[in-house]
């Protein structure tokens, strides 16, 4: 194995293991607040810089060849074309049989930055305007973007740092991670977890195989997975969660929740909205932290249902347990909600504090608990 070494025969040509490597550099002026489009074949790293008026690049070209002559012929097949048309500055890399990596700097106040690569990772940061990225396969990293972000990769992880606008990110297969999104977000992956630390606007998450974890959302959350954990810590709006193949769902605090699962335990807490939850197999633990405005419904075919109700809430309860075992199948902490047997079912009905929105509870194969939470 040969170490990296510069060859005297051709300036800038060196050997790096099985590859011959050549580095090229160049630049092109950019219009004030002008747009930039980069089209290439390999990895791209680009940074926005304050108080500059040009697009500067360094391209690292590689060729796997047995001798210097063949390497030069292969490396010369690469063509880098940099041009400007009106408000757009273009950089296009063509030719070559291997991937060529780009490192660029550009004005941080560029109007729009668009990056397209056939295959390779993209690392873009420190731009005030919108950024659009698409890769045929590779990891995408975007941080310190002041406006909207659009990111798509055929296969690879997407990592978002601080984003000042809306986000739309799609991965064919890979984890999606987001730290801080100021606007709304749409995140979708064919296989992998979706992890969001904070989003200020509405959030839509979709994965065909993986968990969804949201720490904090400033509006509504819609989360769909074909199988995996759904965990929303806090949402200022309604949480709608669907787990098609089964898995637990947890909503720490939200303005109501609407959840469905093929199988798995649910932990749900509402701060003013309704709670609607159904699971084929699994228990439901639900809590009202404040007065609900509309009706709620909790249902499981195999599992317990526990509902925590603050003592000062105005609600009407109608619970039915179809399990065998008589009146003991429902336990009520409230004298206003008596339990009785009706045929093979157990029923508990009553109005708390004069009554209010209806809470219907339907269970089979487990217990129903109506618990008093002191306020």
pLDDT digits (tens, 9 = 90+) for 276-331: 999 999 999 999 999 999 999 999 999 999 999 999 999 999 999 997 766 679 99
Given a contact cutoff of 8 angstroms between Cβ atoms, the answer to whether 134 and 116 are in contact is yes
Residue bearing tokens 């990772």: 121
pLDDT of residue 3: 31
**What is the rounded CA–CA span in Å between residue 118 and residue 99?**
9
Segment 42-67, tens digit of pLDDT? 999 999 999 999 999 999 998 888 88
| Residue-range definition of the domain harbouring residue 335 | 197-211+226-375
In a domain, 80, yes or no: no
**pTM score, two decimals?**
0.92
Q: Which long-range contacts (CB under 8 A, 24 or more apart) does 184-190 make?
A: 184/219, 187/158, 189/158
pLDDT of residue 99: 77
pLDDT of residue 375: 65
In a domain, 66, yes or no: no
Average pLDDT per block of 10 residues along the chain, 375 residues long: 32 82 93 97 96 96 88 89 95 85 98 96 98 97 98 97 98 97 98 97 96 98 95 98 94 97 95 95 96 96 96 96 79 96 91 97 94 86
In a domain, 316, yes or no: yes
In a domain, 365, yes or no: yes
In a domain, 204, yes or no: yes
Distances (CA, A) of 190 to 47, 151, 172, 211, 248: 29, 14, 5, 12, 20
In a domain, 268, yes or no: yes
pLDDT of residue 62: 87
pLDDT of residue 327: 62
pLDDT of residue 42: 92
First CA to last CA distance, the chain: 74
**What is the rounded CA–CA span in Å between residue 276 and residue 263?**
16
- The closest of 152, 147, 145 to 122, measured between CA atoms, is 152
**What is the rounded CA–CA span in Å between residue 43 and residue 57?**
13
The total number of structural domains in the chain stands at 1
Given a contact cutoff of 8 angstroms between Cβ atoms, the answer to whether 107 and 89 are in contact is no
In a domain, 201, yes or no: yes
pLDDT of residue 4: 31
* Degrees, nearest 5: CA angle 198-210-366: 100
In a domain, 251, yes or no: yes
**What is the rounded CA–CA span in Å between residue 337 and residue 319?**
9
């Amino acid at each position: 194995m040969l170490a990296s070494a510069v060859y005297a025969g051709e300036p800038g040509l060196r050997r790096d293991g099985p590859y011959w490597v050549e580095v090229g550099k160049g630049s092109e002026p950019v219009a004030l607040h002008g747009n930039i489009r980069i089209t290439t074949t390999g990895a791209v790293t680009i940074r926005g810089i304050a108080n500059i008026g040009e697009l500067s690049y360094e391209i690292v070209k590689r060729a796997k060849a047995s001798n210097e002559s063949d390497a030069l012929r292969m490396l010369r097949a690469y063509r880098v074309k940099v041009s400007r048309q009106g408000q757009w500055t273009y950089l296009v890399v063509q030719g070559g049989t291997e991937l060529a990596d780009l490192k660029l700097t550009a004005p941080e106040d560029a109007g729009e930055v668009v990056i397209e690569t056939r295959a390779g990772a993209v690392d873009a940061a420190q731009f005030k305007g919108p950024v659009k990225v698409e890769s045929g396969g590779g990891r995408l990293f975007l941080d310190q973007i002041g406006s909207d972000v659009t990111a798509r990769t055929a296969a690879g992880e997407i990592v978002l740092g601080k984003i000042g606008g809306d986000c739309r990110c799609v991965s064919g297969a890979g984890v999606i991670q987001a730290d801080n999104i100021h606007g709304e977000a749409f995140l979708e992956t064919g296989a992998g977890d979706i992890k969001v630390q904070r989003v200020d606007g509405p959030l839509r998450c979709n994965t065909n195989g993986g968990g969804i974890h949201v720490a904090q959302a400033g509006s509504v959350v819609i989360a769909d997975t074909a199988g995996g954990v759904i965990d929303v810590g806090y949402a200022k709006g309604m949480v709608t969660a669907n787990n098609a193949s089964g898995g637990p769902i947890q909503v720490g605090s939200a303005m109501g929740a609407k959840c469905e699962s093929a199988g798995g335990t649910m932990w749900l807490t509402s701060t003013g909205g309704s709670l609607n939850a159904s699971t084929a197999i699994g228990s439901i633990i639900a809590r009202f932290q404040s007065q609900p405005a509309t009706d709620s419904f909790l249902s499981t075919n195999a599992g317990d249902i526990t509902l925590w109700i603050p003592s000062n809430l105005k609600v009407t309860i109608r619970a039915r347990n179809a399990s065998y075992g008589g009146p003991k199948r429902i336990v009520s902490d409230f004298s206003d909600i008596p339990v009785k047997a009706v045929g093979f079912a157990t029923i508990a009905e009553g109005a708390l504090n004069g009554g209010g929105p209806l809470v219907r509870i339907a269970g089979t194969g487990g217990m129903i608990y109506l618990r008093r939470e002191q306020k």
